[in-house]
Amino acid sequence: AWELLVDVWGLDPNRMYATVFGGDSNDGLPVDTEAIELWKSETSIPHSQILEYGKADNFWEMGDTGPCGPCSEIHYDLRSDEERAAQNGKELVNQDHPQVIEIWNLVFIQFNRMPDGSLASLPAKHVDTGMGFERICAVMQQKKSNYDTDVFASLLKHIADLAGTPYGKNEEKDIAMRVI
């Protein structure tokens, strides 16, 4: 993930935040120090931008039972330099800010959640990884929204033409067009 984002695509590590699992006492799980150390040793991300989050944000489960595990995410700050100077992006990670967004998730599948809620170690562990296509398009094209990218622009223009109203002039109508 890091190699593609930084070394190949040239994204700015200073605009990135890596989140790691901060542990959970109810499940008896410690902080994911392995992920923290890998972020520190294998990437150029500033160490102050490696953030610990709890189970709600950094432990992936597909349901009440089944494979699960801690995750590490990469977030990107799309805000202007002025906005970034006024407020540190780490305060906006996992806060649903529309311009500080998760772009990649690395899930370390190592447990099976049992029907009684306990965790059993899986005999074979793996990493499940995923990148948000529309989000990475917004980052790569330096857009403030997924809907401003070339993925959606022609569709929104067509909808706007059919509706007889321009896109980008009225927030309520824009939302309706995005829903379509």
Express each pLDDT in 106-155 by its tens digit.
999 999 999 999 999 999 999 999 999 999 999 999 998 899 999 999 99
pLDDT at residue 100 in the model: 97
74-95 mean pLDDT: 97
pLDDT digits (tens, 9 = 90+) for 137-150: 999 999 988 999 99
Of the pLDDT bands very low, low, confident and very high (cuts 50, 70, 90), residue 38 is: very high
- Helices 171-179 and 150-163 cross at an angle (nearest 10°) of 110
pTM over 0.75: yes
Of the pLDDT bands very low, low, confident and very high (cuts 50, 70, 90), residue 80 is: very high
